[in-house]
Amino acid sequence: MSKLFGTDGVRGTANTAPMTAETALRIGAAVGRYFSRDGDSVHRVVIGKDTRLSGYMFENALTAGLTSTGMNVLLLGPVPTPAVGLLTRSMRADLGVMISASHNPAIDNGIKFFGPDGYKLSDEVEAEIEALVAAGVDPVPAAEIGRAKRIDDGRFRYVERVKSSFPRQMRLDGLKVVVDCANGAAYRVAPEALWELGATVIPVGTTPNGHNINDGCGSMYPQTAAEAVVAHGADVGICLDGDADRVILLDEKGWVGDGDQFMGLMAARWAAEDRLKGGSLVATVMSNLGLERFLQGKGVGLERTSVGDRYVVERMRAGGFNLGGEQSGHIVMTDYATTGDGLMAALQFLAAMIESDKPASEVMHVFDPVPQLLKNVRYAAGQTPLEIGSVKDAIAAAEADLSGNGRLLIRKSGTEPLIRVMAESEDEAVLHASVNAVVAAVTDAVGAPQ
């Protein structure tokens, strides 16, 4: 069996290896065995999902595998990924499972895992589970099979937790908010939370049908929400992805503010309030050079990690930091949550707007980003384009061209068969030439269209 786990659990096209019902059943049995190894006590797991049609199939397959090892399963239904992290801890579960492919199209799906502390599993634990999947797991005797139960109030518990992160003395009265839920996991909780806090809510992407998650909406396609912001004269737009663990914000003009701008805003505010633990923000290698320079000017450090919110969280936990995230909109605030939470981050931005008494456009833009260009090249299974001599030469030449006035980042995607080529430079001619040269070399090496 090929490697199952990527940068964020297991992911792929539904009904195609590895995302088949059979594999999900084997994974369920493996994680059930791993988390019920310590004796005869009762063990439980919570399972959430987004709104993909294949979620039903994987929910049932995982439940079968887990109960076959004696685990009791608590089914939450459609809830955001951060709700699973929260409820795993609050319901004293041994394990949390989220069935979602995040921002990917509806034909994809994935399985993410949370330990009893509400944090995503480490690479080491995932490797042990993967070994159990490959070896197979014996089921428990018939009398010890686990039970499954629907939990009807999971989303309400999550809404209350999200609202508790918002300043108690503050309300959203008078604010008109567009919220685009990507036809995904937050299609009920996000509008409910905002309305309960007093906002006038204009919902977008709140009619999931199993096929339309992330389809022309949400954080990957903020144009839809931007049009709604302008059409309704809204004060701000909130764009979530399919499992609501990331957010992209829009100002009153429909302009986009990414995760870097939000992290810059919050890091500066928290540092001024002496709330920023460790005096640093944790972000990935993808975050803009402009963010790093802005933070330096505020006396705030920047810790960079590999791409993936789990790596951000691991660094935050190891270093005692409480703010981190990704340019793509994963925002992690460990004072409130164990993983990225798009809705909770959006509420923090709204609080900043209210406290400053400024429009979103002034609050959102905290630094001028260094021009950044990202292009992707798809490759086929078994290909290793980054090991080919012509590609290495093109990368070396691009690094030399950017030396002193920018940077180059080449990496393989952890969720798709893509080579990502990213560069930053104030010299946009050099920027485009460098990226295009590397993309051309990779494209030639793999024989794929750009």
Q: Which residues are catalytic, by number?
A: 102
Going by C-alpha positions, the residue among 245, 196, 198 that lies closest to residue 219 is 245
User: Residue 170 phi/psi, 5° resolution?
Assistant: -110, 145
Q: Which residues pair with 246 in a beta bridge?
A: 330
Neighbouring CB atoms inside 10 A of 435's CB total: 22
Q: Where do the H-state alpha helices sit in 197-256?
A: 223-232
Q: Alpha-carbon distance 16 to 37, whole Å?
A: 31
Q: Which residues pair with 72 in a beta bridge?
A: 44
- CB proximity list for 384: less than 8 A, separation 6 or greater: none
For the purposes of burial, counting CB atoms within 10 Å of the CB of 77, is it exposed (0-12), middle (13-18) or buried (19 or more)? middle
- The CA angle 127-132-133, to the nearest 5 degrees, is 95
Question: Cβ(421)–Cβ(376) under 8 Å?
Answer: yes
Q: Alpha-carbon distance 119 to 328, whole Å?
A: 20
DSSP 330: B
Map 84-128 to HEC letters: HHHHHHHCCCCEEEEECCCCCCCCEEEEEEECCCCCECCHHHHHH
